[in-house]
Amino acid sequence: MTDEPIDDLTDLPGVGKLTAEKLKESGYGDFMTIAVATPKELAELGGLTEEGAAKIIHAAMGLADVGEFLTTAELKEKRKNLMYLSTGSKQLDGLFGGKGLETGSITEFYGEFGTGKTQIALQLAVNATRPVEDGGLGGHVLIIDTENTFRPKRIEEMATALGLDVDETFAKIHVARAFNSAHQIILLKKKANELAKTIPIKLVIVDSLTAHFRSEFLGRGNLGPRQGLLNNHMHDLLRFADINNAVAVVTNQVLTNVGQMFGDATKPVGGNIVGHTSTYRLYLRKGKAGKKVARMIDSPENPDEEAIYTLGQEGIRDG
Protein backbone atom coordinates (compact mmCIF):
# COMPACT_ATOMS: atom_id res chain seq x y z
CA MET A 1 0.00 0.00 0.00
CA THR A 2 1.10 3.59 -0.59
CA ASP A 3 1.02 6.63 1.64
CA GLU A 4 1.20 8.95 -1.36
CA PRO A 5 -0.13 12.39 -0.45
CA ILE A 6 -2.97 13.80 -2.53
CA ASP A 7 -2.22 17.35 -3.71
CA ASP A 8 -5.12 19.76 -3.21
CA LEU A 9 -4.94 22.01 -6.26
CA THR A 10 -7.25 24.54 -4.62
CA ASP A 11 -4.28 25.45 -2.40
CA LEU A 12 -2.87 27.22 -5.46
CA PRO A 13 -3.79 30.92 -5.94
CA GLY A 14 -6.66 31.42 -8.35
CA VAL A 15 -7.57 27.72 -8.54
CA GLY A 16 -11.11 26.90 -7.51
CA LYS A 17 -12.86 23.55 -7.58
CA LEU A 18 -13.95 23.89 -11.21
CA THR A 19 -10.46 24.84 -12.45
CA ALA A 20 -8.93 22.07 -10.34
CA GLU A 21 -11.23 19.51 -11.98
CA LYS A 22 -10.35 20.79 -15.46
CA LEU A 23 -6.64 20.48 -14.72
CA LYS A 24 -7.01 16.99 -13.25
CA GLU A 25 -9.02 15.78 -16.24
CA SER A 26 -6.24 17.03 -18.53
CA GLY A 27 -3.54 15.16 -16.63
CA TYR A 28 -2.39 17.99 -14.35
CA GLY A 29 -3.46 16.52 -11.03
CA ASP A 30 -0.48 17.30 -8.79
CA PHE A 31 1.83 20.18 -7.95
CA MET A 32 4.80 18.61 -9.73
CA THR A 33 3.04 18.34 -13.09
CA ILE A 34 1.80 21.92 -12.87
CA ALA A 35 5.21 23.22 -11.77
CA VAL A 36 6.86 22.06 -15.00
CA ALA A 37 4.03 23.23 -17.30
CA THR A 38 4.20 26.36 -19.44
CA PRO A 39 1.87 29.30 -18.72
CA LYS A 40 0.36 28.98 -22.22
CA GLU A 41 -0.63 25.32 -21.96
CA LEU A 42 -1.94 25.71 -18.41
CA ALA A 43 -3.99 28.76 -19.41
CA GLU A 44 -5.60 26.89 -22.31
CA LEU A 45 -6.44 23.85 -20.20
CA GLY A 46 -7.76 25.69 -17.16
CA GLY A 47 -9.48 28.61 -18.88
CA LEU A 48 -7.01 31.07 -17.32
CA THR A 49 -5.00 34.09 -18.40
CA GLU A 50 -1.32 33.42 -19.02
CA GLU A 51 -0.46 35.83 -16.19
CA GLY A 52 -2.71 33.90 -13.82
CA ALA A 53 -1.29 30.61 -15.02
CA ALA A 54 2.25 31.86 -14.39
CA LYS A 55 1.35 32.68 -10.77
CA ILE A 56 -0.13 29.21 -10.32
CA ILE A 57 3.01 27.57 -11.74
CA HIS A 58 5.23 29.65 -9.44
CA ALA A 59 3.17 28.63 -6.41
CA ALA A 60 3.22 24.96 -7.49
CA MET A 61 7.02 25.07 -7.64
CA GLY A 62 7.06 26.00 -3.96
CA LEU A 63 4.61 23.27 -2.97
CA ALA A 64 5.88 20.42 -5.14
CA ASP A 65 7.72 17.59 -3.41
CA VAL A 66 10.85 17.32 -5.57
CA GLY A 67 12.58 14.76 -3.38
CA GLU A 68 16.28 14.91 -2.58
CA PHE A 69 19.66 13.83 -3.88
CA LEU A 70 20.93 10.42 -2.71
CA THR A 71 24.52 9.31 -2.48
CA THR A 72 25.51 6.32 -4.58
CA ALA A 73 25.76 4.25 -1.39
CA GLU A 74 22.22 5.25 -0.38
CA LEU A 75 20.90 4.42 -3.83
CA LYS A 76 22.62 1.03 -3.76
CA GLU A 77 21.01 0.31 -0.40
CA LYS A 78 17.60 1.36 -1.73
CA ARG A 79 17.94 -1.03 -4.67
CA LYS A 80 18.22 -3.94 -2.24
CA ASN A 81 14.47 -3.58 -1.72
CA LEU A 82 13.70 -4.22 -5.38
CA MET A 83 11.74 -7.34 -6.32
CA TYR A 84 11.79 -9.35 -9.53
CA LEU A 85 8.99 -10.97 -11.51
CA SER A 86 9.71 -14.09 -13.57
CA THR A 87 8.18 -14.36 -17.04
CA GLY A 88 7.93 -18.15 -16.72
CA SER A 89 10.65 -18.56 -19.35
CA LYS A 90 14.29 -18.88 -18.31
CA GLN A 91 15.38 -17.57 -21.69
CA LEU A 92 13.20 -14.46 -21.37
CA ASP A 93 14.31 -13.95 -17.77
CA GLY A 94 17.87 -14.17 -19.08
CA LEU A 95 17.37 -10.93 -20.98
CA PHE A 96 16.92 -9.29 -17.57
CA GLY A 97 20.06 -10.82 -16.10
CA GLY A 98 18.22 -14.00 -15.11
CA LYS A 99 16.06 -12.32 -12.46
CA GLY A 100 13.00 -11.20 -14.40
CA LEU A 101 11.24 -7.84 -14.55
CA GLU A 102 12.32 -5.28 -11.98
CA THR A 103 10.03 -3.33 -9.65
CA GLY A 104 10.16 0.46 -9.74
CA SER A 105 10.59 0.46 -13.52
CA ILE A 106 8.62 0.30 -16.77
CA THR A 107 9.11 -2.61 -19.17
CA GLU A 108 7.79 -2.15 -22.70
CA PHE A 109 6.97 -5.03 -25.04
CA TYR A 110 6.40 -3.97 -28.65
CA GLY A 111 5.88 -5.90 -31.85
CA GLU A 112 3.48 -6.78 -34.64
CA PHE A 113 0.15 -8.53 -34.16
CA GLY A 114 0.58 -12.17 -33.15
CA THR A 115 3.96 -11.85 -31.47
CA GLY A 116 2.54 -12.48 -27.99
CA LYS A 117 2.46 -9.02 -26.39
CA THR A 118 -0.88 -9.48 -24.64
CA GLN A 119 -0.13 -13.12 -23.80
CA ILE A 120 3.12 -12.15 -22.06
CA ALA A 121 1.21 -9.49 -20.13
CA LEU A 122 -1.40 -12.03 -19.00
CA GLN A 123 1.31 -14.52 -18.03
CA LEU A 124 3.03 -11.85 -15.94
CA ALA A 125 -0.32 -11.06 -14.29
CA VAL A 126 -0.75 -14.68 -13.22
CA ASN A 127 2.88 -15.00 -12.14
CA ALA A 128 2.72 -11.83 -10.02
CA THR A 129 0.09 -13.43 -7.78
CA ARG A 130 2.48 -16.27 -6.91
CA PRO A 131 4.75 -16.22 -3.83
CA VAL A 132 8.12 -14.50 -4.09
CA GLU A 133 9.94 -17.82 -3.70
CA ASP A 134 8.20 -19.05 -6.88
CA GLY A 135 9.29 -16.07 -8.96
CA GLY A 136 6.19 -14.02 -8.22
CA LEU A 137 5.55 -10.83 -6.27
CA GLY A 138 2.94 -12.13 -3.82
CA GLY A 139 0.55 -9.31 -4.62
CA HIS A 140 -2.34 -7.99 -6.66
CA VAL A 141 -2.39 -6.90 -10.29
CA LEU A 142 -4.04 -4.01 -12.15
CA ILE A 143 -4.71 -4.27 -15.88
CA ILE A 144 -5.85 -1.30 -17.97
CA ASP A 145 -7.31 -2.92 -21.10
CA THR A 146 -7.54 -0.45 -23.99
CA GLU A 147 -8.32 -2.89 -26.82
CA ASN A 148 -10.78 -5.31 -25.18
CA THR A 149 -8.27 -8.16 -25.36
CA PHE A 150 -8.52 -9.43 -21.76
CA ARG A 151 -10.10 -12.87 -21.46
CA PRO A 152 -10.65 -14.60 -18.07
CA LYS A 153 -10.32 -17.97 -19.82
CA ARG A 154 -6.63 -17.30 -20.56
CA ILE A 155 -6.00 -16.48 -16.91
CA GLU A 156 -7.74 -19.72 -15.92
CA GLU A 157 -5.65 -21.77 -18.37
CA MET A 158 -2.37 -20.23 -17.25
CA ALA A 159 -3.20 -20.50 -13.55
CA THR A 160 -4.28 -24.14 -13.93
CA ALA A 161 -1.03 -24.97 -15.76
CA LEU A 162 0.90 -23.64 -12.75
CA GLY A 163 -1.23 -25.53 -10.23
CA LEU A 164 -2.70 -22.34 -8.78
CA ASP A 165 -6.13 -21.92 -7.23
CA VAL A 166 -8.08 -20.26 -10.05
CA ASP A 167 -10.53 -18.41 -7.78
CA GLU A 168 -7.68 -16.95 -5.71
CA THR A 169 -5.87 -15.88 -8.87
CA PHE A 170 -9.02 -14.26 -10.26
CA ALA A 171 -9.48 -12.33 -7.00
CA LYS A 172 -6.00 -10.81 -7.25
CA ILE A 173 -6.21 -9.61 -10.85
CA HIS A 174 -8.26 -6.41 -11.30
CA VAL A 175 -9.20 -5.26 -14.81
CA ALA A 176 -10.62 -1.98 -16.11
CA ARG A 177 -11.58 -1.27 -19.72
CA ALA A 178 -10.37 2.15 -20.92
CA PHE A 179 -12.69 3.56 -23.59
CA ASN A 180 -10.51 6.52 -24.63
CA SER A 181 -7.19 8.16 -23.78
CA ALA A 182 -8.69 10.45 -21.12
CA HIS A 183 -10.32 7.46 -19.42
CA GLN A 184 -7.01 5.57 -19.62
CA ILE A 185 -5.16 8.44 -17.94
CA ILE A 186 -7.65 8.86 -15.10
CA LEU A 187 -7.83 5.13 -14.40
CA LEU A 188 -4.13 5.17 -13.58
CA LYS A 189 -3.91 8.58 -11.96
CA LYS A 190 -6.99 8.23 -9.75
CA LYS A 191 -8.39 4.71 -9.50
CA ALA A 192 -5.08 2.85 -9.37
CA ASN A 193 -3.77 5.06 -6.57
CA GLU A 194 -7.02 4.72 -4.64
CA LEU A 195 -6.89 0.92 -4.89
CA ALA A 196 -3.21 0.84 -3.87
CA LYS A 197 -4.21 2.29 -0.50
CA THR A 198 -6.22 -0.83 0.35
CA ILE A 199 -4.40 -3.74 -1.33
CA PRO A 200 -0.75 -4.42 -2.26
CA ILE A 201 -0.55 -3.68 -5.99
CA LYS A 202 2.70 -5.25 -7.26
CA LEU A 203 2.09 -5.17 -11.02
CA VAL A 204 0.28 -2.68 -13.25
CA ILE A 205 -0.23 -3.42 -16.96
CA VAL A 206 -1.38 -1.08 -19.73
CA ASP A 207 -2.36 -3.14 -22.79
CA SER A 208 -1.88 -1.38 -25.08
CA LEU A 209 -0.28 1.93 -24.21
CA THR A 210 -0.69 3.91 -27.42
CA ALA A 211 -3.84 2.54 -29.13
CA HIS A 212 -6.20 5.32 -28.02
CA PHE A 213 -3.63 8.10 -28.39
CA ARG A 214 -2.82 6.92 -31.90
CA SER A 215 -6.46 6.88 -33.05
CA GLU A 216 -7.60 10.08 -31.34
CA PHE A 217 -4.74 12.45 -32.17
CA LEU A 218 -4.46 12.27 -35.95
CA GLY A 219 -2.20 14.47 -38.08
CA ARG A 220 0.98 16.39 -37.36
CA GLY A 221 -0.99 19.27 -35.85
CA ASN A 222 -2.04 17.03 -32.96
CA LEU A 223 1.35 15.41 -32.45
CA GLY A 224 2.43 17.88 -29.76
CA PRO A 225 -0.67 17.54 -27.56
CA ARG A 226 -0.61 13.77 -27.99
CA GLN A 227 3.02 13.45 -26.96
CA GLY A 228 2.49 15.79 -24.02
CA LEU A 229 -0.35 13.68 -22.59
CA LEU A 230 1.53 10.47 -23.32
CA ASN A 231 4.58 11.83 -21.52
CA ASN A 232 2.54 12.68 -18.42
CA HIS A 233 0.88 9.27 -18.53
CA MET A 234 4.21 7.45 -18.68
CA HIS A 235 5.60 9.44 -15.77
CA ASP A 236 2.45 8.73 -13.74
CA LEU A 237 3.07 5.04 -14.41
CA LEU A 238 6.73 5.28 -13.41
CA ARG A 239 5.81 7.16 -10.24
CA PHE A 240 3.22 4.52 -9.32
CA ALA A 241 5.80 1.76 -9.81
CA ASP A 242 8.36 3.57 -7.68
CA ILE A 243 6.02 4.44 -4.81
CA ASN A 244 4.48 0.96 -4.62
CA ASN A 245 7.66 -1.00 -5.41
CA ALA A 246 5.68 -2.52 -8.28
CA VAL A 247 6.47 -3.71 -11.79
CA ALA A 248 4.98 -1.62 -14.61
CA VAL A 249 4.41 -3.24 -18.01
CA VAL A 250 3.17 -1.63 -21.22
CA THR A 251 2.52 -3.24 -24.57
CA ASN A 252 2.93 -1.11 -27.65
CA GLN A 253 1.95 -1.14 -31.28
CA VAL A 254 4.40 -0.71 -34.15
CA LEU A 255 4.55 1.08 -37.48
CA THR A 256 6.79 0.80 -40.53
CA ASN A 257 9.42 3.44 -41.25
CA VAL A 258 8.88 3.77 -45.03
CA GLY A 259 12.02 5.86 -45.41
CA GLN A 260 14.32 3.10 -44.15
CA MET A 261 16.03 1.27 -47.03
CA PHE A 262 17.84 -1.53 -45.17
CA GLY A 263 17.24 -3.67 -42.09
CA ASP A 264 14.08 -4.01 -40.05
CA ALA A 265 11.90 -0.94 -40.67
CA THR A 266 9.55 -1.73 -37.77
CA LYS A 267 9.51 0.79 -34.94
CA PRO A 268 7.31 1.34 -31.88
CA VAL A 269 4.60 4.00 -31.71
CA GLY A 270 5.18 6.91 -29.33
CA GLY A 271 8.62 8.05 -30.43
CA ASN A 272 11.18 9.28 -27.92
CA ILE A 273 8.56 9.96 -25.24
CA VAL A 274 7.90 6.25 -24.73
CA GLY A 275 11.49 5.23 -25.53
CA HIS A 276 13.08 7.51 -22.95
CA THR A 277 10.60 6.73 -20.16
CA SER A 278 10.63 2.95 -20.55
CA THR A 279 13.40 1.42 -18.44
CA TYR A 280 13.49 -1.77 -20.51
CA ARG A 281 12.34 -2.17 -24.13
CA LEU A 282 11.83 -5.55 -25.77
CA TYR A 283 11.05 -6.08 -29.45
CA LEU A 284 8.95 -9.16 -30.16
CA ARG A 285 8.81 -10.85 -33.56
CA LYS A 286 7.72 -14.13 -35.09
CA GLY A 287 10.36 -16.85 -35.40
CA LYS A 288 10.52 -20.17 -37.19
CA ALA A 289 8.24 -23.16 -36.57
CA GLY A 290 5.71 -21.08 -34.66
CA LYS A 291 8.22 -19.84 -32.10
CA LYS A 292 8.60 -16.22 -30.99
CA VAL A 293 11.72 -14.12 -30.58
CA ALA A 294 12.28 -11.35 -28.03
CA ARG A 295 15.19 -8.94 -28.32
CA MET A 296 16.34 -6.57 -25.58
CA ILE A 297 16.56 -3.22 -27.34
CA ASP A 298 17.21 -0.93 -24.39
CA SER A 299 18.32 -1.68 -20.83
CA PRO A 300 20.32 0.19 -18.16
CA GLU A 301 22.59 -2.80 -17.56
CA ASN A 302 21.71 -5.81 -19.74
CA PRO A 303 23.22 -6.48 -23.19
CA ASP A 304 21.38 -6.45 -26.51
CA GLU A 305 20.50 -10.16 -26.76
CA GLU A 306 17.71 -12.39 -28.05
CA ALA A 307 15.59 -15.12 -26.46
CA ILE A 308 13.26 -17.67 -28.04
CA TYR A 309 9.95 -18.55 -26.41
CA THR A 310 6.77 -20.42 -27.23
CA LEU A 311 3.17 -19.45 -26.72
CA GLY A 312 0.68 -22.20 -25.99
CA GLN A 313 -2.50 -22.89 -24.05
CA GLU A 314 -0.48 -23.26 -20.83
CA GLY A 315 1.15 -19.84 -21.37
CA ILE A 316 4.67 -18.59 -22.04
CA ARG A 317 7.42 -21.19 -21.99
CA ASP A 318 11.00 -21.61 -23.25
CA GLY A 319 11.41 -22.13 -26.98
Torsion of CA 106, 163, 97, 268, to 10 degrees: -40
The predicted pLDDT at position 263 comes to 57
> Closest by alpha carbon to 232, among 30, 70, 65, 93?
30
Q: Which burial class, exposed, middle or buried, applies to 36 when counting CB atoms under 10 A from its CB (0-12, 13-18, 19+)?
A: middle
| CA angle (178, 212, 114) in 5-degree steps | 95
Give the chain's mean pLDDT: 91
Could you give the CA distance from residue 90 to residue 95 in angstroms, rounded to a whole number?
A: 9
SS3 content of the chain, % helix, strand, coil (to 5): 45, 20, 35
The predicted pLDDT at position 46 comes to 77
Q: Which CATH number fits domain 75-318: 3.40.50.300, 1.10.10.10, 3.30.420.40, 2.40.50.140?
A: 3.40.50.300
Decide if pLDDT at 185 tops 60.
yes
3-state secondary structure of 73: helix
| CA angle (40, 238, 178) in 5-degree steps | 80
| CA angle (138, 144, 147) in 5-degree steps | 135
Domain with CATH 3.40.50.300 in the chain: 75-318
pLDDT in tens, 30-79: 898 898 888 988 888 778 899 999 999 999 999 987 778 989 999 899 88
Average pLDDT over residues 125-135: 98
> Closest by alpha carbon to 280, among 115, 127, 101?
101
3-state secondary structure of 46: helix
Which of 99-103, 213-217, 297-301 has the weakest average pLDDT?
A: 213-217
pLDDT in tens, 194-234: 999 999 999 999 999 999 998 898 887 777 777 888 988 99
The predicted pLDDT at position 2 comes to 44
β-pairing verdict for 105-111 and 140-145: unpaired
pLDDT in tens, 52-61: 999 999 999 9
Domain with CATH 1.10.150.20 in the chain: 9-63
CA end-to-end span of the chain: 37
Name 176's bridge partners.
144
> Closest by alpha carbon to 192, among 211, 208, 176?
176
Could you give the CA distance from residue 231 to residue 26 in angstroms, rounded to a whole number?
A: 12
CATH code of the domain occupying 9-63:
1.10.150.20
pLDDT in tens, 165-177: 999 999 999 999 9
